[in-house]
Amino acid sequence: MTILISCNIACAKARSRISLTFPNCTPYHALTMAISVTRQTILVIAASILLVMSGCSLNTLMVNQMSPMLKAALPSLETEEDFEVARDAIPAQLKLLEGFLESSPNNRHLLELLAQGWGSYAFGFIEDGIETVKDSDPDRAEVLTIRGRGLYLRGMNYGLRLLALDDDHFPAVMDQSPEALEAALQNINDRDLVPALFWAGFGLAGAVNLGRDQPELIIRLPQIELIFKRVQELDEHFFYAGTHLALGSFYASRIGLFGGDFEKGRDHFERAIQLNDTFLMHKVLYAFYYAHQTQNRELFEQLLTDVVTTPATILPEQRLANVIAQRRAQRYLSWADDLF
């Protein structure tokens, strides 16, 4: 009743206003004009919605068309010889990729680039900063450690998102038992999923390495071993035998109670070097984790001297990684008297 009265009053007022403006306008004409205006309004609104929707679709289409080119452009960074140039450029480029991902959340190229990018940035640059200031500025080192953990986990999460596109066990299985994770990993038989699996594991391993005082990370140690063992089974050559580098570091850097095994670590480092001896980080981590932990100074100095005397261009497509390896090798050699 109230609504009907209000409508009648509103209609009367509308007729009155129309009559004042258009003296010859009858109620029928007024109704026709009102319907016409309403139709025009609806058409404008509909057109606006379609424009926005087509804009979103266009953005997604453009991003999907561009993403393979963005992935193809990655070598321009990986071949960079200037450490500072790369350190300063990479975060902005990764943020740009995250912006593109907003328009295409399931874009495989972008997810892989971000998983690799954030993990590699944390390893190559944040950890370098931690080692540089850990003695002179412990507070700054702690800030960088927290930041590094966050970036590693960001990379891990992008890797898990990429895995989830093909396997709905992820990421939920990461919060379940090691047995559940192992079963899920055994269901992965497609080598095309190795990059997602590797970079997810890389991010997790890096976060744990920078979070040895964080119980919620330490309990994930078994996951690291399971992930990289599965990568090894699927493709031990991926990213310059990176799975052997990861497993070598895992076994050699931990005491037996936490899954450590020096001889297993040595075997993985040796296998990594056998598969690709031009990726210099193999020898750096072999020296730092295995030779240091077993107090083999001769091996330590031999490996690191080989690294600093080898041109970074021995592996042109990974010049930046070799430059980073050489920085670490020089630093570790300067620490030798304290380490042995």
Say which residue, 55 or 219, is predicted with more confidence: 219
Distance CA 109, CA 164 (A): 14
Q: pLDDT band for 320, please (50, 70, 90 cuts).
A: very high
Say which residue, 47 or 194, is predicted with more confidence: 194
The per-residue pLDDT for 16 is 43
Percent of the chain with pLDDT over 90: 75
Q: pLDDT band for 291, please (50, 70, 90 cuts).
A: very high
Across the range 74-98, mean pLDDT stands at 91
Domain boundaries, the chain: 8-72, 83-339
Q: pLDDT band for 15, please (50, 70, 90 cuts).
A: very low
Q: What does the angle CA 89 – CA 94 – CA 97 come to, to the nearest 5 degrees?
A: 130
Distance CA 90, CA 113 (A): 12
pLDDT for 49-76, tens place per residue? 444 444 556 667 666 666 566 666 666 7
Counting other chains too, the contacts that 176-179 makes at CB distance below 8 Å and 24 or more residues apart are: 178/222, 178/223, 178/226
pLDDT for 106-123, tens place per residue? 999 999 999 999 999 999
User: In 3D, which of 124, 100, 116, 125 has the Cα closest to residue 155?
Assistant: 116
Q: pLDDT band for 171, please (50, 70, 90 cuts).
A: very high
| pTM of structure | 0.81
Q: pLDDT band for 24, please (50, 70, 90 cuts).
A: very low
Residue 248 CB contacts under 8 Å (≥ 6 apart), including other chains:
265, 266, 267, 268, 269, 272, 285, 286, 289, 290
Maximum distance among all Cα pairs of the chain, rounded to whole angstroms? 106
The per-residue pLDDT for 324 is 99
pLDDT for 202-214, tens place per residue? 999 999 999 999 9
Cβ pair 87, 93 in contact under 8 A: no
- Architecture of the structural domain at 83-339: Alpha Horseshoe (1.25)
Q: Read off the amino acid at residue 89.
A: A
Provide the terminal-to-terminal Cα distance of the chain, rounded to the nearest Å: 93
Say which residue, 1 or 194, is predicted with more confidence: 194
